[in-house]
Amino acid sequence: MYYKHIDGNKWAIVLSKGDNLINALKQFAIDNKIGGSINGIGALLWAELGYFDLGCNKYLRKRFEGGFELLALNGNIVYIDEPIIHIHVVLGNPDFQVIGGHLFDGEISITGEIIVSTWHKDSILRSNDEYTGLKLWKLDV
């Protein structure tokens, strides 16, 4: 992983073949003590995606293998003691079909090109939501 402060609150991150996408972004957040919004593109060797099923109040997870274009990556870095990387992705396969969902894990196959717009790590925090059991944004307004 390589990253560079490009201006104001913007950082550019390049992930390389073999990098774990979630772990790399978490390390970036720890190194720089920031939260922020994330968007990017690239390619993944495999991905573990999830879909939150409100009926059973849990994520349904599935691992996808075989290589994918990372068509869209959107998410954020918000803290509960440590950075929580929350990302949704759209992936394209060799048959020009797409899949998407919450990204639990994934490995870069070629590159990941990511922009992070940062904010102070304590600006937005997460806490348990009683209804879903998920750790959702907590905004003190």
pLDDT reading at 10 higher than 60 = yes
Find residue 105's DSSP bridge partners.
48
- In terms of Cβ atoms closer than 10 Å to its own Cβ (0-12, 13-18, 19+), residue 57 is exposed
Contacts of 75 (CB under 8 A, 6+ apart): 37, 38, 39, 85, 86, 87, 88, 103
Q: What single string gives the DSSP state of each residue in the chain?
A: -EEEEEETTEEEEEEETT-BHHHHHHHHHHHHTEEEEEEEEEEEEEEEEEEEETTTTEEEEEEEEEEEEEEEEEEEEEEESEEEEEEEEEEE-TTS-EEEEEEEEEEEEEEEEEEEEEEETTSSEEEE-TTT--EEEE---
Check residues 56 and 97 and name the one with the higher pLDDT: 97
Please state which architecture CATH assigns to domain 2-138: 2-Layer Sandwich (3.30)
CB 72 within 8 A of CB 51: no
Average pLDDT estimate for 108-129? 88
Q: Name the residue among 117, 120, 125, 123 with its Cα closest to residue 13.
A: 117
In the chain, domain spans:
2-138
pLDDT, tens digit, 9 for 90 and up, residues 28-86: 999 999 999 999 999 999 999 999 998 888 999 999 999 999 999 999 999 888 999 99
Check residues 130 and 140 and name the one with the higher pLDDT: 130
